[in-house]
C-alpha cells in the first residue's frame, strides 16, 4: 500500500525596511537551521507598501537563504494601519502560490525545532488562541457590544467559546502571528473582505483598533465554520511582560519550544542573564545561537550577559543612585 504524499508547504512573511527586515532575516535563518522536514520549504517575503522596501543587504541575505522577495504596493487603502500589511500579503499569496498549505508568520518569531504539527490533515486551519484576553470578550464585558456587531457584520451564526490559560472563558479569538491554512479554502480573501467591511463601518473596540485585524480574522473563521487545529503552547510561544523568563529559557534549551514569538524581548537594549548551566554548552546552546544571530542581524549587539556582566549592567538611573550613596 502506497503512503499518502506529504502536502506541499510555503511560508509567508512581511518585510519592510528597518527593524522588520532584520527580524525577517533571523526568522529565515532559524527555519533553515532548525525546521527539520520543513527547513527547505519555500519562504516568500513581501513589502506591501510603497516606499518601504528592504535594503540591498537584506536582499543579499535573502538570496543566500533562498527567500524570494517582492515589493508591491498592495496596502494602499489602509496604509496607516500596519497590521493591514499581513492581510494584503496573505491575500496576494493565496492567489499567487500553488502549495497545499500556506503558513503566515510574524517576522519576530523563531523556529527552534521540528514543526510537523503545521502539516494539516483533516483540519482546515491551525492556530493558537491569544495569550491574553486583550480586546476579546466573554459576552458581558466592555467589549461585548463590539463583538456582537462584528459577528453581525461578518454573519457569524454560531458563537464558540474558548478557555484561555488563565481560565478566562471568551468568544473564539486566535493569535494572528501564526496562521496555517489550506490554500484552497480561501480564508484570506474572506478575511480581507470582512476587514474592509468592518473598517468602512467604523466599528472599533473600546480601547482602539490595535489587533482589530486579529478579531476580524477570528470572526471570519467562525463565520466560515472552519475546523481548527488548536496548536500547543510550544508553537507561537510568547515572550511577554508576564512571561517567567527563567522558565522560558529552560524550555528553549530543552527543546520544548518549537516556535518562539519573542516580540520585543530580544530588541536592543534588552539583556538576559545567561544561566550558569549554559556556560559549558555554548557550542550546542540554542540560546547562544540566538545571541550570536541577533548580533549578526543587527537586532541586538549582545543579549546574553555573564553573571559578572549582569552585575555591572546598570542603567543610568541605577548608576546615579549608586554614586549618590557613595558621596
Q: Looking at the structure, do residues 321 and 299 belong to the same domain, yes or no?
A: yes
* Mean pLDDT of the residues in the chain: 90
Question: What dihedral angle (degrees, nearest 10) is formed by the CA atoms of 184, 191, 120, 35?
Answer: 110
Q: What is the pTM of this model?
A: 0.92
Query: For 256-278, how does the pLDDT look when each residue is reduced to its tens digit (9 = 90+)?
Result: 999 999 999 999 988 888 776 66
Cα separation, 195 vs 250, whole angstroms: 39
Under the banding of pLDDT at 50, 70 and 90, the label for residue 316 is very low
Q: Looking at the structure, do residues 145 and 264 belong to the same domain, yes or no?
A: no
Cα separation, 140 vs 147, whole angstroms: 10
Name the residue among 255, 1, 226 with its Cα closest to residue 120: 226
Q: Looking at the structure, do residues 144 and 253 belong to the same domain, yes or no?
A: no
For residue 160, what is the DSSP state? -
Residue with cell string 478575511: 191
Burial class for 197, CB neighbours closer than 10 Å (0-12, 13-18, 19+): middle
The answer on pLDDT for 208 being more than 50 is yes
- Host domain of residue 59: 9-230
Name the residue among 293, 263, 282, 268 with its Cα closest to residue 32: 293
The answer on pLDDT for 121 being more than 80 is yes
Q: Looking at the structure, do residues 178 and 286 belong to the same domain, yes or no?
A: no
Q: Looking at the structure, do residues 270 and 222 belong to the same domain, yes or no?
A: no
Query: For 81-103, how does the pLDDT look when each residue is reduced to its tens digit (9 = 90+)?
Result: 999 999 999 999 999 999 999 99
Cα separation, 6 vs 295, whole angstroms: 36
Q: Looking at the structure, do residues 92 and 185 belong to the same domain, yes or no?
A: yes
Amino acid at each position: 500500500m502506497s503512503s499518502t504524499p506529504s502536502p506541499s508547504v510555503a511560508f509567508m512573511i512581511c518585510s519592510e525596511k528597518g527593524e522588520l527586515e532584520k527580524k525577517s532575516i533571523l526568522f529565515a535563518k532559524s527555519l533553515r537551521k532548525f525546521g527539520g522536514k520543513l527547513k527547505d520549504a519555500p519562504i516568500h517575503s513581501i513589502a506591501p507598501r510603497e516606499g518601504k522596501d528592504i535594503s540591498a543587504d537584506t536582499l543579499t541575505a535573502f538570496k543566500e537563504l533562498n527567500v524570494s522577495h517582492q515589493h508591491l504596493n498592495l496596502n494602499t487603502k489602509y496604509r496607516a494601519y500596519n497590521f493591514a500589511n499581513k492581510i494584503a500579503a496573505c491575500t496576494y499569496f493565496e492567489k499567487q502560490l500553488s502549495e497545499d498549505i500556506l503558513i503566515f508568520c510574524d517576522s519576530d518569531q523563531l523556529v527552534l525545532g521540528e514543526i510537523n504539527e503545521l502539516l494539516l490533515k483533516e483540519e482546515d486551519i491551525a492556530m493558537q488562541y491569544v495569550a491574553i484576553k486583550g480586546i476579546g470578550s466573554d459576552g458581558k464585558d466592555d467589549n461585548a457590544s463590539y463583538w456582537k456587531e462584528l459577528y453581525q457584520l461578518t454573519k457569524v451564526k454560531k458563537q464558540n467559546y474558548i478557555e484561555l490559560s488563565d481560565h478566562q472563558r471568551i468568544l473564539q479569538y486566535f493569535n494572528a502571528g501564526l496562521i496555517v491554512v489550506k490554500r484552497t479554502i480561501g480564508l484570506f480573501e474572506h478575511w480581507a473582505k470582512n476587514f474592509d467591511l468592518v473598517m468602512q463601518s467604523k466599528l472599533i473596540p473600546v480601547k482602539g483598533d490595535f489587533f482589530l485585524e486579529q478579531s476580524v480574522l477570528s470572526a471570519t473563521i467562525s463565520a466560515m465554520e472552519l475546523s481548527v487545529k488548536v496548536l500547543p503552547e510550544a508553537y507561537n510561544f510568547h515572550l511577554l511582560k508576564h512571561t517567567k523568563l527563567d522558565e522560558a529559557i529552560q524550555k528553549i534549551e530543552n527543546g520544548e519550544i518549537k516556535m518562539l514569538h519573542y516580540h520585543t524581548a530580544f530588541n536592543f537594549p534588552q539583556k538576559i542573564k545567561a544561566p550558569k548551566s549554559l556556560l559549558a554548552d555554548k557550542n550546542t546552546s540554542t540560546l547562544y545561537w540566538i545571541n550570536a544571530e541577533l548580533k549578526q542581524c543587527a537586532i541586538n549587539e549582545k543579549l546574553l550577559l555573564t553573571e559578572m556582566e549582569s552585575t555591572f549592567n546598570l542603567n543610568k538611573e541605577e548608576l546615579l543612585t549608586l554614586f549618590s550613596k557613595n558621596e
